[in-house]
Amino acid sequence: MRFLKIGLLTLLVPLFAFTVLHKFYISVTNVDYSEKEEAVQIITRIFIDDMNAVINERYGIPAKLGTERESDMDRDYLKKYLRTKFVVEINGETVPYNFIGKKYDTDMLICYLEVPNIPRNELKQIGITNEVLTDLFDDQQNVVHIKVDGNKKSHVLIKSHTKGMLNL
């Protein structure tokens, strides 16, 4: 009986070691071209707690995004942070984008961005530089999917490789 207990314990301890929650750092961004709108449309999903943490760390603001205590200042710093860490290039040139809005889904912040007035016949290349959260988390991964007219390219961007492109 004693050997059975020791054997069972030897088998179970390693299993419990792998059940500890491990925090992972990831965002997912979808970039699509809307021919109807003549615009590059972007949806990016980021964990709310990570965004609050980076705003606090970078700007000294205890952000409360996604809570009842969210303020205009929190929203302003979110936009400011995105503008410094998320860059869109069209045909090799950095272009401004509009922050259309945001919403929350459980623990995710979903941001909607758009680059308007891009005629399809002039669109030759889309580049995305995504350094969101890499200044706070060394193991942050920013997955970017770019799709135009059935051409699709996916990138896993990390701290040492922050840019992905789709050539058309």
pTM: 0.85
The CA distance from 61 to 65, in Å, is: 11
Tokens of 52: 């609050």
Domains and their CATH numbers in the chain: 23-47+84-167 (2.60.40)
Whose CA is closest to 168, among 119, 121, 124?
124
The CA distance from 72 to 65, in Å, is: 10
pLDDT in tens, the chain (168 residues): 554 444 444 444 444 444 444 477 899 999 999 999 999 999 999 999 999 999 999 999 999 999 999 999 999 999 999 999 999 999 999 999 999 999 999 999 999 999 999 999 999 999 999 999 999 999 999 999 999 999 999 999 999 999 999 998
Tokens of 138: 């060394």
